[in-house]
Structure 1
Amino acid sequence: MQRRDLLRLSLGASAFLASASLIGCSAQTAATGYQALRDDDLPLLRALIPVVLAGAQATETLVLRSLDHKLAALSPEMLKLTRQLFDVLSLPLTRGPLTGIWGSWGQADPRQVTGFLQRWQDSSLNLLRMGHASLLQLLQMAWYERPESWAACGYPGPPKI
């Protein structure tokens, strides 16, 4: 690829992402029963939880509640960044090209979700690798902080004082 082509591609990608961020980002109001999670975040997270926490016997409802509690405790700037990540993954205009999942998250099968996570983990773009790490850390912290998860991983719990 020549330098001129690379510049055109970069300019086009920048315009694409800028327009995507302007048209259709999710509302900032929380979904019913949640403090921070929005309605548009839930299908994405419901598709990710069984893949990221495979074999952990995680309960979707408990993970979502715990994640919501964690997000509500974030600083406004960190919550904004997390919501931007969720928006990019939820918005149809950016979801397909960035994840390879062209339909809705509710229709994505676990192999597709695993493929998306693997592509982001192995990406040459640091931003995608950081997004991958963020998603995994958020979901794993949300589950493994819960006492329900401790027995399965051999953790006896904190010492009793």
Structure 2
Amino acid sequence: MSTDTFDAPGLSRRGLLKVGLLGTAFLATAGVTATLSGCSASVPASGLSTLRASDLPFLRALIPVIIDGAVSAEKMSAAVEQSIRGIDYSLTRFSPEMQKLTVQLFDVLALGLTRGPLTGVWGSWENASAAQVSAFLSRWQNSSISLLKLGHASLLQLVMLAWYGQPESWAHCGYPGPPKV
């Protein structure tokens, strides 16, 4: 039997509530700042219904990291573009409130003021390496802040929904497709 103990400072309920409230206030402020600064232009990107041009660099950095291993390197570019169209399609079918929350999440991730401290990616998403994006995902997944964990889960589900909704992805996971009627 091990007698090792972990001597870490305890976080009281009051402390946890303070951290949660501060995190929520920070993210809300960042979202409002992004909206007021024009970072979150509500005009969809060319050929898309919901996603904006400011969302695309982040998604092009994120998607290859999430679907790595599910698609070959030579087909990755096409898979990323298919996934972006799939995410856009899904967002058009979300409730207005879910669309708003997703747009706010993308705004926080696009704004340099919040991107660096929250993700660890201090430069633009276009210059982020796969290792940096993976570290960001791990950071959010293992965060003590539930709002970041929720953001991680949301991003993961958006990409998985978009990629595995494509017939091109089914062979990798052994799914033969829907039955022919």
- 2:54 maps to amino acid: D
Change (3 A) 1:149 1:14: closer
- 2:60 maps to amino acid: R
- 2:162 aligns with one of 142, 154, 157: 142
Partner of 1:99: 119
**Secondary structure at the counterpart of residue 159 of structure 2:** helix
Deviation at 1:17, TM superposition (A): 4.0
Are the counterparts in 1 of residues 170 and 177 from structure 2 also a CA contact under 8 Å?
A: yes
Deviation at 1:159, TM superposition (A): 1.0
- 1:34 maps to amino acid: L
Deviation at 1:24, TM superposition (A): 2.7
Deviation sequence 1:63-110 (CA, Å, 0-9, x none)? 111111011111111100111111111111100000000000000000
Partner of 1:35: 49
Q: TM-score, normalised by structure 2?
A: 0.80
Deviation at 1:54, TM superposition (A): 0.4
Identity of aligned residues (%): 57
Alpha-carbon distance between aligned partners in 2 of 1:134 and 1:41, rounded to the nearest angstrom: 15
Deviation at 1:20, TM superposition (A): 2.5
Change (3 A) 1:13 1:79: closer
Partner of 1:21: 31
1:47 aligns with 2:61: yes
- 1:86 aligns with one of 96, 99, 106: 106
Deviation at 1:42, TM superposition (A): 0.3
- 2:47 maps to amino acid: G
Q: TM-score, normalised by structure 1?
A: 0.89
Alpha-carbon distance between aligned partners in 1 of 2:23 and 2:150, rounded to the nearest angstrom: 19
Q: Which has the larger radius of gyration?
A: 2
- After superposition, the CA RMSD in angstroms is 2.3
The runs of 5 or more residues in structure 2 that have no matched partner are 1-8
Partner of 1:157: 177
**Secondary structure at the counterpart of residue 24 of structure 1:** helix
Deviation at 1:8, TM superposition (A): 9.2
